[in-house]
Amino acid sequence: MRKHFQSWASLVTAMTAALATLLASCALGPNYARPGIETPAAYKEAQGWKTAQPRDNEPRGNWWAVFNDPQLDALVGQVEVSNQTIKAAEARVREARALTQQARAAYFPIVTGNASATRNGGRGGAGNSSGIGGNQSSGGAGNNFNVALDVNWELDLWGRVRRTVEAGEATAQASVADLEAAKLSAQAQLAEDYFLLRAQDAQIRLLTDTVDAYQKSLQLTRNQYAVGVAARADVAQAETQLKSTQAQALDAGVQRAQLEHAIAVLLGKAPADFSIAPEVVATTFPPIPPELPSALLERRPDIAAAERRAAAANAQIGVAEAAFFPSLTLSATGGFQSSVLSQLFSAPSRYWSLGPALAQTIFDAGLRRAQSAQAIATYDENVANYRQTALAGFQEVEDNLAALRILEQEAAVQDEAVKSARESLTITLNQYRAGTVNYLSVVIAQATALSNEREALTILGRRQTASVTLIKALGGGWSAAQLSAG
What pLDDT digit, counting tens, does each position of 308-358 carry?
999 999 999 999 999 899 988 899 999 888 888 888 888 888 888 888 888
Among candidates 324, 302, 305, 328, which has minimal Cα distance to 375? 324
Question: Is residue 467 in a domain?
Answer: yes
CATH of the domain at 174: 1.20.1600.10
473 falls within a domain: yes
Region 89-98: what's the mean pLDDT?
94
Residue 14 reports pLDDT greater than 90: no
Flag the least confident range among 125-129, 183-187, 301-305, 366-370: 125-129
**Structure confidence at residue 136 (pLDDT):** 44
What is the share, in percent, of the chain residues with pLDDT greater than 90?
Answer: 59
Q: How confident is the model at residue 369 (pLDDT cuts 50, 70, 90)?
A: very high
pLDDT of 288 reads 80
Least confident of 87-91, 220-224, 290-294: 290-294
Report percent pLDDT > 70 for the chain.
87
Which residues share a beta bridge with 335?
148, 351
Is 4 within a domain?
no
Q: Are 316 and 379 in contact (CB under 8 A)?
A: yes
Higher pLDDT, 60 or 287: 287
Q: Per the domain annotation, does 14 fall within a domain?
A: no
pLDDT at 6: 52
Mean pLDDT of 168-177: 93
- Are the CB atoms for 156 and 20 separated by under 8 Å? no
Gyration radius (Cα) of the chain, Å: 39
Report phi then psi at 291, rounded to 5. -70, 165
Q: How far is CA 303 from the centre of its chain?
A: 12
User: Looking at per-residue confidence, does 345 or 14 come out higher?
Assistant: 345
Q: What is the pLDDT of residue 51?
A: 42
Q: How many folded domains does the chain comprise?
A: 1
The per-residue pLDDT for 13 is 52
Please give the average per-residue pLDDT across 419-448, as a whole number. 92
Among the ranges given (137-141, 166-170, 282-286), the one the predictor scored with the smallest mean pLDDT: 137-141
pLDDT at 376: 95
- Judge whether 142 lies within some domain: no
User: Do the beta carbons of residue 76 and residue 187 sit within 8 Å?
Assistant: yes
Among 24-28, 184-188, 258-262, the minimum mean pLDDT is found in 24-28
* pTM summary value: 0.82
Res 484: pLDDT = 65
**For the residues 117-146, what does the mean pLDDT come to?**
62
Give the separation between CA 24 and CA 27, rounded to whole angstroms: 9
Q: What is the pLDDT of residue 163?
A: 92
Mean pLDDT, the chain, rounded, equals: 86
Report the first-to-last Cα separation within the chain, whole angstroms: 48
**What pairs with residue 142 in β-bridges?**
120
Is there a contact between 100 and 165 (Cβ–Cβ < 8 Å)? yes
In a domain, 247, yes or no: yes
Query: Can you tell me the mean pLDDT for 148-169?
Result: 91
* pLDDT above 70: residue 404: yes
Binned at pLDDT 50, 70 and 90, residue 425 comes out as: very high
**Residue 309 lies inside a defined structural domain of this protein:** yes
Q: How confident is the model at residue 451 (pLDDT cuts 50, 70, 90)?
A: very high
Of 65-74, 219-228, 340-349, 454-463, the range with the lowest mean pLDDT is 340-349
Residues 188, 191, 196: CA angle, nearest 5 degrees: 125
Given a cut of 50, whether residue 453 has pLDDT beyond it is: yes
Full residue range of the structural domain in which residue 258 is found: 26-117+157-327+384-485
Residue 266: inside a domain: yes
> How far, in Å, CA of 65 to CA of 104, rounded?
42
Which has the closest alpha carbon to 194: 480, 486, 470, 464?
A: 464
- Residue 456: pLDDT band by 50, 70, 90 thresholds? very high
* Overall average pLDDT of the 268-277 stretch: 94
Which of 384, 382, 379 lies closest to 321, judged by CA? 379
Spatial CA neighbour of 5 closest among 350, 356, 355: 350
